[in-house]
Every structure is written in structure tokens, then in C-alpha cells.
Amino acid sequence: MKFNDALWGAALVVFAGLLFVHAQGFPAIPGQSVGPGALPKALAVGLAVCGALMFVGGLRANAAAGGLPWVVLPDWFASCPQLLGFAVLVAINLLYVLGVDRIGFVITGWIYLAALMLVLRVRPLLAIAVALVMTLLIHYCFYKLLRVPLPWGVLQPIAW
């Protein structure tokens, strides 16, 4: 999928504005003129300048080419298996973001990996087994070794 640079530039300017506004709320450090919001604000200004340049360049390129389409879909987008894979990828990421706190990392991660492997045509029993083993391994590495507090969700009563 190809988007015109003017669209990416506009999105970058909007993101930079949101970043700058968010950094305004960072607390000041007493006795210092530079606080924790200085770097995000500087980055926001730089991103806004780059986004504005991309926006103007995209508009100029579009005008010079005689009005190109704003979005060009790739050839595979009309193919059913690839479109299904793309839809599953988007849906499974939404499930993870919206459900990991409620459902828990282990179950969400297992569903995530199994769904992706099934879309890639891995045999169902192998996909389910590998997804479970890998999810438990990832959970162990992050939760026990790296001490990252992953959500347990519905498995909270049996948390180790």
C-alpha cells in the first residue's frame, strides 16, 4: 500500500502537535530551566518541520505528475488469502491491545501466535502446541527473568 507523501506529512504534523501538547503537561524540576518535557518538545518541533516538508513535497510531486492517486493498493490486496491474513493480523493486534489486561498475557499470547500460524497454513495441532510453548517461554523470560509485570487476567488465581 502506497500513500502519497502529503498524507504522511500531514499525519506527522498532527502527531508532532499531539506530542508537543502532551509534553506541556510534564512536571517542571525545581531549580532547573530544562525539564523532562524539553526533549519531547524539541523532537515534536523537528517532526513538525519534517512533516511540513513532506507535505509540501507530496503536493508538488502530485501536481507535477498530473494528479496521482492519494492511495495505491498493491496487487495482493485483491487476493483472498492475503487479504484474510491482513485482516487476521489487524484483528489479532486489536484483540491483544484491548484484551490483554482482562484476559491475560498467556491466553492472549497463545491465541495471537496460534492465529498467525494458522493463517500461515501451519498444521492446526502443531500451531496450537508451538503457540502454547512459545507463549509460556516468552512469559517466563519476561516475567521471571526480566521482571516485566505482565498481566495475568483470568489466570490470576494460579499466578506463579
35 contacts 27 by C-beta, under 8 angstroms: yes
For helices 105-119 and 80-103, angle between their N-to-C axes, nearest 10 degrees? 170
> Per-residue confidence at 68, pLDDT binned at 50, 70, 90?
confident
pLDDT of residue 160: 75
3-class SS letters over the chain:
CEECHHHHHHHHHHHHHHHHHHHHCCCCCCCCCCCCCHHHHHHHHHHHHHHHHHHHHHHHHHHHCCCCCCEECCHHHHCHHHHHHHHHHHHHHHHHHHHHHHHCHHHHHHHHHHHHHHHCCCCHHHHHHHHHHHHHHHHHHHHHHCCCCCCCHHHHHHCC
Tell me the pLDDT tens digit for each residue of 5-17: 999 999 999 999 9
Distance CA 43, CA 49 (A): 10
pLDDT of residue 156: 87
φ, ψ dihedrals at 37, nearest 5° = -90, -5
- Which cell is 45 given? 518541533
AA letter at 46:
G
Average pLDDT for the chain: 92
Is the pLDDT at 97 greater than 80? The verdict is yes
